[in-house]
Chain A
Amino acid sequence: MPETAIDVLGLTKVYKDGYKALDSVSLTVQKGSIYGLLGPNGAGKTTLISILSGLFDRTSGQVKILGENTEDLYRNELQEKIGVAPQEIALYELLTPLENLSYFASLYGISGEKFKTRSKELLEKFGLWDVRNKPVKRFSGGMKRRLNLIAALIHKPQLLFLDEPTEGIDVQSRNAILEYLTELNEKEKITIIYTSHLLAEAESFCHEILIIDKGEKMIHGKMGDLLKDSGKGLQQVFLELTGSHYRDL
C-alpha cells in the first residue's frame, strides 16, 4: 500500500466573520503524486492549501502531513520538508534572484557551496542564470513566477504546495514550469499539491484531483479514472459539478 503524504479528515474552517470556507473536507494524497485542488473562485482552494501548508489555523478536523499530526502550530521539522510557492510573487523586487535565494536559503540554514550549487542548478534550469544579478523588479511576469517557484524549491522539499503557479504567464514560462515540476516529481518523487483555474493544464499535469465548491468536496479521485468513468473532459465535469454561473466573490 502506498504511503500517504497528506491525510485530511473532516477539515472545517470558519473565519472570524462567520464565513465557512471549508466544511468537513476529507482527502488523502499519496506520496509522489501530483494533486490538483480545483474549484471556482471562492471555493476554498486557497484556504485549504493555506491550512495544509501551515499558514492558517483550522477550526476543526484532523490534518496529517507526511505522517505527522499538525496541531495548531506547524512544527519546524515539518516546515523543513515542505516548500510553498504562494499565489503572489513572494519576492523582494529590489533584490536580485541570487540575493532573494540567498536570503531564503539562509533561513533554511543553506549557505556556502551548497547554496551556490543548488541556486545555479535551479536558475539554469529555469533560464534565469544570466539575469541572476539583475533586480527582480525589471523581470517579466513569467520570470518572476519562475523565480517564485525556485524560492520554494531551494531547500529540496519533499512536499510542494503551489498556489496557481502558472497564473498570468506566457506559454513558454508555463511549459518550462510544468516540465520541470513533472521531471522533479518523476525523478525525486516530490509530492505536489497544486491549485489552478486552468483545467486543461490540470488535466495533463495532475495524477489526482479534488474539485471543491463553497467549501465542500464535490469529487475526488485519480484523473484517469474520473475522466474515464464520466466519459467527458475535465472542463465539462467541472462545470456540471460547480454550475456555469459567475462566481464574483
Chain B
Amino acid sequence: MKILWAEIKKELLLLLRDKAGLALLFIMPALLVVVMTYIQDAAFRVFSNEKVQVIWIDNDDTKSSNSIKSELETSGYFELVDSLGDKPINAELGKGLISDGEYQVGIIIPKDFHKKFKSRIKGRVDSLLADFGLADSNQMTVSNSPITVNLIFDPLTKATFKTSISNGIMGIINELETQYSFQAFRSKLAARFPYNPSGNSELKLKPIIGFEDEYIFKGGSGSLPSSVQHNVPAWSIFAMFFIIISFSQRIVEERISGVNKRLRTIPVHTGLLVLGKALTYVFISEIQLVVILALGFWLMPILGLPELVINGSFRLLLLFTIPISLASAGLAILIGKWSKTRDQAASFGSIAVIIMAALGGVWVPVFVMPSLLQIVAKFSPLYWALEGYYSIIVRGSTIYELLIPASILITLFGITFALSTLKRD
C-alpha cells in the first residue's frame, strides 16, 4: 500500500510541475466542451424551438399561393422572408441569397400556379365523377403532370436538414391540395344533388389520425437532451482518453531517462507501479469530470446555453468514471510501453484517440453511422463510455444497467495492463 501511495504521490507531483501537461488535461477539455456546445447548440435549436427562415418568392400571388404562405406561417416552424427591407425578393435575388449562404432554403411559386392548380383539381374531380357516370357534358382533358413548386437549397445544407424541411413544406402543400380537392368535389356534387350545408361552407379538413409525441424517462420524469447534455459527457470522455498522449509520453520518458532501469533493480513489482499510475489517472479523470460538469451547471447558463441536467445519480456518474479512466490508462500504458520515442507515443496516442472518439460517437451519434461502422463502433472504448454516461445523464439508469459497459471497459484495462507488464524494456 505504501508503494502504491508513493507511486501515486510521485505521479501527481510530476503532473503538478508539468504546466503544459496540466493545460492539456484541464484547460483544453474545458475550452473544447464550451466551444463544441456553442456550435452544436445552434444545430440543436434549428430542429427544436428556432423557426427556420425560408425565402418566399411568389410569382403568382393568388388565393392558392397565399393559402400556402398562410399555412406555412401558421405552422410555427417557418418564418417566410419575401423582401429585403423594401425590396421584394424575386427568383434571381433569392437564388443569390441562398448561393451566398445567407439563407439555407427558399420556395418559388411559379406563375399561373393558381390557374393550373384549379385546373388540375377540376380535372381530378371530373375524372372521378366520370367513373360513376356523372361526367360533365363540357368536360375537358386536363394534363396529369404535377405543377412544379421549386424548393431551392444552399449546397452546404445537410441532407437531414434538407429532408426535414422538404417534408414539412410538402406536408402543408399536400394538405391544401386535399382540401381544395374536397371543396371542388363538393361543389360538383352540390350542382347535381340536394345540398344541405352544415354551416361550414369553407370546409376546413382536420386530420383524422393524430400523433402525440411523448418522451419516456426512467422513473417517469426527466428532461430532454440538449446540446449540453450531449457535449458534456462526450467531451469529458474525450478528455479522459486524451490523457493517453501525456501519460504514454511519461512512460516513454521513464524508459529513456533510465529511471525504468533503476526501478527494475529495486525490489518492487512492476505491476504495482503500473497500477499506481493507473489509479493516479483515475483520480485525474474524476477531477476532469467534476470541472466539466461544473461548467455545464454554472458557466453554460451564463453563456446563454442550456443548463446541464443529470437525470440519473451524480455519484453513479463518478463511479462509472472509474472503469472509463482505467480503460484509458490501460491504453496509455500499453502505447507508452510499445513506443520507442516520445514523438511516437504522442502521434500514435493522438491518432488512436481521435479514431476511437469518431467511432465511439463523440462527434456524430453512432445510430446515424453506416451499419458496418455501427458494428466497428463497439470496439471503441469511447462507445461504451458514452453509452454509460448517456444512460446516467439522459436516461437516468441505475447501476445494474451500467454493468455491461463497465465490464467491457474493465476487461479492456485488464488486457492492456497484462500486456504492459509482460513487455520488458
CA distance A90 to B253 in the complex (A): 10
Are the C-beta atoms of B265 and A91 separated by less than 8 Å?
no
Report the Cα distance A95→B2, complex, angstroms.
19
A-B pairs with beta carbons under 8 A, tally: 74
Is A175 interfacial (CB-CB < 8 Å)?
A: no
| Beta-carbon nearest neighbor of B6 in chain A | A106
Q: In the complex, what's the smallest C-beta–C-beta distance from B213 to chain A, in angstroms? A: 56
Q: Does B137 contact A (CB under 8 A)?
A: no
Complex Cα spacing A87 to B256, Å = 12
Interface 0/1 of B1-30, CB less than 8 Å to A: 011011001100110011000000000000
Chain B contacts for A84, CB-based, 8 A: 261-262, 265
Verify if B156 is at the interface (C-beta below 8 Å from A).
no
On whether the beta carbons of B264 and A151 are closer than 8 Å, the reply is no
**Would B264 and A135 count as touching, CB distance under 8 A?**
no
Q: Does A89 contact B (CB under 8 A)?
A: yes
Q: Kindly identify, within residues 243 to 271 of chain B, every residue whose CB is under 8 Å from any CB belonging to chain A.
A: 256-259, 261-268
Find out whether the CB atom of A108 lies under 8 angstroms from the CB atom of B262.
no
B265 with A106: CB separation less than 8 A: no
Whole-angstrom CA separation of A161 from B262 in the bound complex: 11
Q: Are A94 and B14 in contact (CB under 8 A)?
A: yes
Contact A88 B266 (CB under 8 A): no
Which residue from B6, B14, B18, B257 sits with its C-beta under 8 Å from A107? Answer: B6
A55 to B425, CA, bound (A): 9
User: In the complex the two chains form, is B267's CB within 8 Å of A95's CB?
Assistant: no
Is B265's CB under 8 angstroms from A55's CB? yes
CB contacts (< 8 Å) of B9 on chain A: these are 103
A208, B258: Cα distance in complex, Å: 27
Docked-complex contact B17 and A104, CB < 8 angstroms = no
Check B10 against A109 for contact (C-beta < 8 Å): no
A90–B261 Cα distance when bound, in Å, is: 8
A108 to B17, CA, bound (A): 25
Asked if A107 contacts B258 (CB within 8 A), the reply is: no
What chain A residues lie within 8 Å of B263 (beta carbons)? 107
A88/B267 contact (C-beta < 8 A), A95-B14, A99-B10, A111-B2 known? no
State which residues 46-91 of A face B: CB under 8 Å: 53-55, 74, 76-77, 79-80, 82-84, 86-91
- Quick check: B257 and A89 within 8 Å, CB to CB? yes
Find out whether the CB atom of B265 lies under 8 angstroms from the CB atom of A109.
no
Docked-complex contact A90 and B13, CB < 8 angstroms = no
- Say which residue of A76, A82, A91, A135 sits within 8 Å of B17 (CB atoms): A135
A110 to B267, CA, bound (A): 12
Do A88 and B261 touch across chains, with their CB atoms under 8 A apart?
A: yes
Determine the residue in chain B with the shortest Cβ distance to A94.
B17
Question: Given that A103-B6, A103-B10 are contacting pairs, would A82 and B265 also be in contact in the complex, using a CB cutoff of 8 Å?
Answer: yes
Whether A107 contacts B17 by the Cβ 8 Å rule is no
Asked if A92 is an interface residue, CB under 8 A from chain B, the answer is yes
CB distance from A47 to the nearest CB of B (A): 13
Kindly state the separation between the CA atoms of A88 and B264 in the bound complex, as whole angstroms: 14
How far is it, in angstroms, between the C-alpha of A83 and the C-alpha of B265 when the chains are bound? 8
Tell me which residues across on chain B come within 8 A of A94, comparing CB atoms: 13-14, 17-18
CA distance A103 to B3 in the complex (A): 9
A173–B133 CA distance with the chains assembled, in angstroms: 118
**B254-292 interface mask toward A, CB cutoff 8 Å, 1 = contact, 0 = none?**
001111011111111000000000000000000000000
Q: Does A79 lie within 8 Å of B265, measured CB to CB?
A: yes
CB distance from B7 to the nearest CB of A (A): 8
CB distance from A114 to the nearest CB of B (A): 13
> Complex formed: what's the CA distance from A248 to B258 in Å?
23
Q: Across the interface, which residues of A come within 8 angstroms of B2, CB to CB?
A: 106, 109, 111
Report whether B257 and A90 are in contact in the complex, using a CB–CB cutoff of 8 Å: yes
Name the residue on B nearest A95 (C-beta). Answer: B13
Closest Cβ–Cβ distance, residue B259 to chain A (whole Å): 5
Q: How far is the CB of A129 from chain B (nearest CB, A)?
A: 20
From the candidates A86, A93, A102, A111, name the one contacting B261 in the complex (CB within 8 A).
Answer: A86
Choose from A79, A95, A108, A111 the contact partner of B10 (Cβ within 8 Å).
A95
Which A-chain residue is minimally distant from B256 (CB atoms)? A88
CB–CB B268/A107 < 8 A: yes
C-alpha spacing A116/B13, complex, angstroms: 19
Q: Which residues of B contact A108 (CB under 8 A)?
A: 266-267
The answer for the CA separation of A21 and B389 in the assembled complex, in Å, is 54
Are A107 and B261 CB-contacts (below 8 A) given A92-B14, A94-B14, A94-B18?
Answer: no
A121 CA to B311 CA, complexed, in Å? 59
In A90-146, which residues have CB < 8 Å from any B CB? 90-95, 99, 102-104, 106-109, 111, 135
Expressed in whole angstroms, the Cα–Cα distance for A152 and B265 within the complex equals 10
* CB atoms of A92 and B264 under 8 A apart: no
Bound together, the chains give a CA A89 to CA B260 distance in angstroms of: 11
**A210, B5: Cα distance in complex, Å:** 42
Min CB–CB distance A80 → chain B (angstroms): 5
Min CB gap B93→A, angstroms: 63
Interface centre among A82, A92, A102, A151 (most CB of B within 10 A): A92
When C-beta atoms are compared, the residue in chain B nearest to A80 turns out to be B267
B301–chain A nearest beta-carbon distance, Å: 38
The listed residue with most A CB atoms (<10 A of its CB), out of B257, B262, B268, is B262
CB distance from A27 to the nearest CB of B (A): 20
Can you name 11 extra interface pairs (CB under 8 A) apart from A86-B258, A86-B261, A107-B268?
A54-B264, A90-B262, A92-B10, A92-B257, A94-B14, A99-B13, A102-B6, A103-B9, A107-B3, A108-B266, A135-B17
Between A and B, 18 residue pairs with Cβ closer than 8 Å are A54-B264, A54-B265, A79-B266, A88-B256, A88-B261, A89-B257, A92-B10, A92-B257, A93-B257, A95-B13, A99-B13, A106-B2, A106-B3, A106-B6, A107-B263, A107-B266, A107-B267, A108-B267
Which 8 residue pairs across A and B have the least CB separation, nearest first? A88-B258, A90-B258, A76-B267, A106-B6, A94-B17, A79-B267, A90-B262, A84-B265
Q: Which residues on B are within 8 Å of A, measured CB to CB?
A: 2-3, 5-6, 9-10, 13-14, 17-18, 256-259, 261-268
